[in-house]
Amino acid sequence: MEDQIQNPLNKSLNKLVELISRENKDKELRQRHEKIRQILLLLGKGTALATTILMPNSARLFKDISIDKSDWNAWKIFNKDYLKRTLRKLEKQKMVEVKDMGDHAVIVLAEKGKQKILKFGLETLAIGKPAHWDGKWRIVFYDVLDGKRKTRDKFRSYLVNAGFYPLQESVYLHAYPCEPEIDFLKNFLGIGAEVRIVIAEKIENDDKFRDYFGLP
C-alpha cells in the first residue's frame, strides 16, 4: 500500500529532477556560447592577444597569454586557463588563427570567425529610435528570387524582429532611419540588387502607422 502511494510521488520527483537537470545543462551551454561570443567579438574589435606557443605544430598549446594594458578591462573577465583552452578549440574550428611575429605570436580572427561575428550581428541588429522623429517614412521593397528562399526568409525575419510594419507581403515600413542596417543586410545576404528603400515625406491615412510606432 505504501509503495502504491509513493510511486506516483517518486515518478513526479524523478520527472522534476530530469527537467531541472536539462534546464541546468541548457543554461551551462548558453553560458559557454555567450563566453565564446564575447571572445570572438573582442577579437573582432581589434583587441588582439599575444601568446607564446609551446609546440609549433598541430598539437601546439598556448603556453601563455599576454594582454595589453589598454585591453585588460575587456579581457579580465576570463580565467587565463579557460581562455587558453577556448582559444585552442577556436583555432581547431578555424575561427581564429595564430600569426607568427618572431619572438611571439598574435591570435586574430580568421575568416570563419568574421562570418560568425556577422551572424551574431544579425541577432542583435536593431533600429535606433532618435529623440525626435524627422517626419519621414522608410519603405523597404524586396523581390528575392524563389531560388533564394532561405535568404528571403532570413531577410523577412530580420524586418519583423526589428519592428518593421508589414504593408504587403514584400513591403515593410519603418519610421526611423534604417539605411545602414538594410545596407548591411543586403551586402551580407548578397541581395543588394533585390532590395530597395524609398523615403517618403507623407503617407495618406497614416494614423495606424503612427500608432504602431508610438508617434504623435
Q: Which domains does the chain have, with CATH numbers?
A: 2-114 (1.10.10), 127-213 (3.30.70.240)
pTM of the model: 0.55
User: Where residue 184 falls among pLDDT bands split at 50, 70, 90?
Assistant: confident
Say what the pLDDT of residue 55 is.
43
Q: What is the pLDDT of residue 53?
A: 47
Give the pLDDT band (50/70/90) at residue 22.
low
What pLDDT is recorded for position 59?
45
Within 10 angstroms of residue 130's Cβ, the number of other Cβ atoms is 9
Q: Is the pLDDT of residue 69 over 70?
A: no
